[in-house]
Structure 1
């Protein structure tokens, strides 16, 4: 009887703990920003809405459900440990000498914002490169 009671408590604890962890990882927004002298681009993905900004302003649109790029972004984000985003290393540093725009990638959850270190636009860290490529395609920016 004690073993039965103990197993019920242990199962309940595991269920509540997994629910709490999954709520922390609910992504509210994904953001990509690149800028240099005379160039600015900002792409923000929130649910099924995408906002694309440049020096002239912003354009917002809705992404149809089932869009392959959106599904790909969601699946790739799920594979990443969000806490490791600040540790991703840039493969090049051309933006240090104005040879490339400086870019940042961030993921916002209810609890936290995970932001990458600066990297060159067009040459992101390998861990997030597929996500950024898909974001650029989704925003119709190359």
Structure 2
């Protein structure tokens, strides 16, 4: 009986930790912005909702869309292993943005009243440390 109780308690506490971690990212505001002279896109993720704006002046009213539970779990997993303090020190793997070969992209995360921001990098070519996270965020944009 003690073994069964211990096993149940372990499973129960383990599930509690995962929901606490998911709660952590739901308090974060994630903004991914990419732009060139003729292109603008801003993806905002907050509390399992995503909005996409394609108007740099902010005149459009993007409709929030709910992120599926599977996609949200994958985003949470990426968020948990990402070092927020090191975001500003990441090096871009390419420099196409310097000659209009790619849009200029930035990732900004506001978490626990602190803002973490990357230096600019090429849209579509994020630093390898955040590649999976950025690609997941970009997957929420519907192709037109």
TM-score (norm 1): 0.75
Specify the alignment match of 2:99 in structure 1: 97
Write out the 4+ residue segments of structure 1 that deviate beyond 3 Å after TM superposition: none
Which residue is equivalent to 2:31? 31
Tell me what 1:10 maps to.
none
Listed as ranges, the gaps of 5+ residues in structure 1 are 1-21
Match of 1:74 among 73, 76, 95: 76
The equivalent of 1:46 in structure 2 is: 46
Quote the Cα distance in structure 2 between the aligned partners of 1:141 and 1:33.
Answer: 16
Question: Could you give the per-residue CA deviations for residues 41-92 of structure 1, whole angstroms, max 9, x where no partner exists?
Answer: 00000012111000272422231552x2221111111111210011111000
Unaligned runs of 5+ in 2: 1-20
Q: How many residues matched?
A: 118
| Contact map agreement 1:69 1:138 (CA 8 A) in 2 | no
Contact 2:94 2:121 (8 Å CA) reproduced: yes
Go from structure 1 to structure 2 and tell me whether the alpha carbon gap of 1:60 and 1:82 turns closer, same or farther (over 3 Å shift). Answer: same
When you count strand as a share of all residues, which structure comes out higher?
1
**Hey, what does 1:12 align to over in structure 2?**
none
| Superposition CA RMSD, Å | 2.0
Q: Is residue 126 from structure 1 mapped to residue 112 from structure 2 by the alignment?
A: no
For the pair shown, the structure with the greater C-alpha radius of gyration is 1
In the aligned structure 2, how far is the partner of 1:140 from the partner of 1:131? 17
